[in-house]
Every structure is written in C-alpha cells, then in structure tokens.
Amino acid sequence: MLLFRGSVRDSLPRRFQPLVAHLSLGLELRGPVKDSVTTNPATVLEVGGIWYYKNYTQYSGASLIASLASQGTIGYGAMIHAARSLRAGVLFRRSGGKTRTGIVVSTDLYGFLERSKKSVEEGLAVARGIVVLPKPSR
C-alpha cells in the first residue's frame, strides 16, 4: 500500500461530471391539452453532463436521452437537470407513422432512497432516544 500526502479536496468530485449511459426511471406525459393527458412509465437512458455548484449541494445540467416506454417504443429527446432530484425534458416518439411529442419527468432514485433511509434512521434514533432517556431526578 502506497501512502502519500493528500488534501481534503481529493475526495470531492470534479465540478463537471459526465453522464454516460445514466439509467433512471421516469414518467412520460402525452396528449393534447384540451383532451385528457396520458402517463406512461418509462426507462430513461442519458448521455450528457452536470455541473456542481461551489458548495456541492446542488447541480444543474443537460443531457440527450433515449426512453423506452411500457409499450416498447423508443423515443429520443433532451433533458434539463434543474435541481438535485428533478429532471424534465421533451421526448419525441414515433408510433403508428406519426411523431408524438411528450414530456418526460425523471427523478434521481438513488438520491431519493438515500435521503429516505437517512430520514428513517434519524426518526428511529429519536424514537429510541425518547424510550431510552431516563427521567430527570428531582
């Protein structure tokens, strides 16, 4: 094992992070505004990049996407990363000889689960603390 002097910054990611074949789950919204809007679950594959802010708590970015809907048709488009857990984009899908436009919304499932796990652990710690804490003596 080779040891060398390092820096705190060695563990921080670069400001730009490329997205290559980033897989996420999404929801595709289609339909004219006047009629009802349909939703379809979709698998989204992204190629693009994100840029971290100085404090690394948020990021923004853009990516080209390919989406596979539950019907088995493939759509292509672009997506914007506006906040840490929310992504939205425009999707073009060819079906029945027509090109249909839709909106796809995707979330960072790993980040959501990580925050959920942390919230549950904090809640359990509080609950255990309430049960374990002794009564104050008078």
Asked whether residue 101 is assigned to any structural domain, the reply reads yes
pLDDT tier for residue 132 given thresholds of 50, 70 and 90: very low
**CA–CA dist 104, 78 (Å, integer):** 9
Q: How many structural domains compose the chain?
A: 1
Asked whether residue 125 is assigned to any structural domain, the reply reads no
Range of the domain at 85: 12-107
Asked whether residue 36 is assigned to any structural domain, the reply reads yes
Assess whether pLDDT exceeds 80 at residue 77: yes
pLDDT, averaged across the chain: 77
Summarize pLDDT for 26-61 with one digit per residue, the tens: 888 877 655 666 778 888 889 999 998 887 778 889
Task: Determine if the pTM surpasses 0.75.
Answer: no
B/e letters for 78-114, b = 16+ CB within 10 Å, e = fewer, are: ebebeebeebebebebeeeeeeeebbbbbebeeeeee
Contact partners, residue 13, CB within 8 Å, separation at least 6: 52, 56
Asked whether residue 113 is assigned to any structural domain, the reply reads no
